[in-house]
Amino acid sequence: MRIGVLTGGGDCPGLNPAIRGVVYRAIDYNDEVIGIRAGWKGLLEKDTVPLRLEDVEEIISMGGTILHTSRTNPLKKEEDTEKCIKNFKELGLDALIAIGGDDTLSVANALYKRGLPTVGVPKTMDNDLSGTDVTFGFDTAVTVAMDALARLKDTARSHFRVMVFEVMGRHAGWVALYTAVGGGADYVLIPEIPLDMDALTEHIKKVRARGKPYAVIVASEGVELPVEEEEEVRVDAFGHKILRERQVASWLADQIEKRTGFETRWVQIGHIQRGGPPTLYDRIIATRVGIKAVDMVHNGEFGKMAAIKGQDVVSVSLDEAVGKLKTVPPELFEEFKTLFK
Ligand code: F6P
């Protein structure tokens, strides 16, 4: 078979191991793999590159994606959607493996419904995709943030400061919660739980009153603030607000300093979280979903996504994956609350 593969949406560590898994498995079937560059943009422009063993052999430890990526949305214009279908045929492809999060997989699902044989591979550092227990990219992103948090603690401790650390994660609090728990923060703010400034203030005062010379607060970029937001933030091609432009950490730091009297600084980790070599865990799960996607192509399991369920890699429908965001369940938040004293 001649299989196309693309990576779309925000990059994350694990994309290269996933591409590698696809190519290695395809070799077992004597398939040819064609890389489509820069996500759906590459399909619109027929921008492709052959992917052979020698092209992917050395990429297991590389962050980013050798295929590049974009947030191009071919569903915005009917002519673009049609062009994708036409180009798929003109490229002589038998199947298309789309590696991405909610946005990229929504396109894969829509194209499947228009007759294209697509298979999805889940990725996102946000870990907010349904239908799979976990997505690659998340473990690495949180590990990077946890390391940054340890550094922030050192400087906060030296200066008797409060530090507000803003992490990515969009409208799900997975990244913030795991960073805070794994890094031993004093408080965490996630989009799923409404912000209570009085409770936050009291908590910081309590932490300092028991003699701790500093406090670190992890805040998700998606936290809703109890104020009218002044400026319109920009949106991407899928209509998502560019959340880091809201700078929630800046607002929070200002409020904390005013309310507690403690000197407060704020930091956004931003895209640093998305780079660097994938962790072992991300390499393994990315490789496994890549392998599974090729098996799914050969089993004719189109309109589906390779997913991690427990220790297994299974296939689930793309409808299940893209229907609804997977957010932090209240019970998990309650369980972890015991760690913020
Ligand atoms: O979805 C992954 C993610 O890193 C989000 O956490 C973040 O809000 C967004 O992408 C940033 O997107 P961009 O790289 O387009 O600025």
| Shared-domain flag, residues 211 and 250 | yes
| Shared-domain flag, residues 105 and 176 | no
Q: Is 242 in the pocket of ligand 1 (CB under 6 A)?
A: yes
CA of 111 to the centre of ligand 1 (A): 24
| Shared-domain flag, residues 82 and 121 | yes
Report which ligand 1 atom has the smallest distance to the Cα of 128.
Answer: 1
Q: Looking at residue 102, which CATH number applies to its domain?
A: 3.40.50.450
Q: Is 172 in the pocket of ligand 1 (CB under 6 A)?
A: no
| Shared-domain flag, residues 149 and 251 | yes
| Shared-domain flag, residues 194 and 218 | yes
Q: Is 14 in the pocket of ligand 1 (CB under 6 A)?
A: no
CA of 181 to the centre of ligand 1 (A): 22
Q: What is the pLDDT of residue 334?
A: 97
Flag whether 289 is in a domain.
yes
| Shared-domain flag, residues 254 and 297 | no
Q: Is 142 in the pocket of ligand 1 (CB under 6 A)?
A: no
> Which residues form the domain of 194?
139-275
Q: What angle in degrees, to the nearest 10, is found between the helix axes of 102-113 and 78-90?
A: 70
Q: Looking at residue 163, which CATH number applies to its domain?
A: 3.40.50.460
Q: Is 168 in the pocket of ligand 1 (CB under 6 A)?
A: yes
> What is the SS3 assignment for 209?
helix
Q: Phi first, then psi: what are they for 157, rounded to 5°?
A: -60, -45
Residue-wise pLDDT tens for the chain (341 aa)? 999 999 999 999 999 999 999 999 999 999 999 999 999 999 999 999 999 999 999 999 999 999 999 999 999 999 999 999 999 999 999 999 999 999 999 999 999 999 999 999 999 999 999 999 999 999 999 999 999 999 999 999 999 999 999 999 999 999 999 999 999 999 999 999 999 999 999 999 999 999 999 999 999 999 999 887 766 789 999 989 999 999 999 999 999 999 999 999 999 999 999 999 999 999 999 999 999 999 999 999 999 999 999 999 999 999 999 989 999 999 999 999 999 99
Query: For the range 285-289, what are the long-range contacts, defined as Cβ-Cβ under 8 Å and sequence gap of 24 or more?
Result: 285/14, 285/134, 285/136, 286/14, 286/15, 286/16, 286/17, 286/18, 286/21, 286/123, 286/136, 287/17, 287/18, 287/20, 287/21, 287/60, 288/21, 288/313, 289/18, 289/21, 289/121, 289/122, 289/136, 289/313
Flag whether 208 is in a domain.
yes
Residue after which a domain boundary falls, among 256, 275, 294: 275
Flag whether 36 is in a domain.
yes
Q: What is the pLDDT of residue 194?
A: 96
Q: What is the pLDDT of residue 232?
A: 74
CA of 10 to the centre of ligand 1 (A): 6
Residues with Cβ < 8 Å from 216, sequence gap 6 or more?
149, 152, 153, 156, 162, 163, 164, 165, 183, 185, 186
Residues with Cβ < 8 Å from 162, sequence gap 6 or more?
156, 204, 214, 215, 216, 217, 253, 256, 257, 260, 262, 263, 264, 265
Q: Is 118 in the pocket of ligand 1 (CB under 6 A)?
A: no
Flag whether 338 is in a domain.
no
Flag whether 333 is in a domain.
no
Q: What is the pLDDT of residue 179?
A: 98
Q: Is 126 in the pocket of ligand 1 (CB under 6 A)?
A: yes
CA of 123 to the centre of ligand 1 (A): 12
| Shared-domain flag, residues 29 and 107 | yes
| Shared-domain flag, residues 65 and 120 | yes
Flag whether 334 is in a domain.
no
Number of domains in the chain: 2
Separation in Å, CA 156 to CA 163, 211, 272 = 6, 14, 20
| Shared-domain flag, residues 16 and 122 | yes
Q: Whose CA is nearest to atom 2 of ligand 1?
A: 10
| Shared-domain flag, residues 118 and 145 | no
| Shared-domain flag, residues 282 and 133 | yes
Dihedral sign, Cα of residue 38, residue 50, residue 59, residue 26 = positive
Flag whether 330 is in a domain.
no
Flag whether 181 is in a domain.
yes
| Shared-domain flag, residues 153 and 118 | no
**Mutate which of 68, 71, 123, 170 for ligand 1 pocket (most atoms within 8 A of beta carbon):** 170
Q: What is the pLDDT of residue 226?
A: 87
Q: Whose CA is nearest to atom 8 of ligand 1?
A: 170
To the query of whether residue 126 is one of the catalytic residues in this protein, the response is: yes
Q: Is 243 in the pocket of ligand 1 (CB under 6 A)?
A: yes
CA of 310 to the centre of ligand 1 (A): 27
How far, in Å, CA of 170 to CA of 192, rounded?
Answer: 11
CA of 259 to the centre of ligand 1 (A): 31
Which residue in 102, 126, 128, 186 is the catalytic one? 126
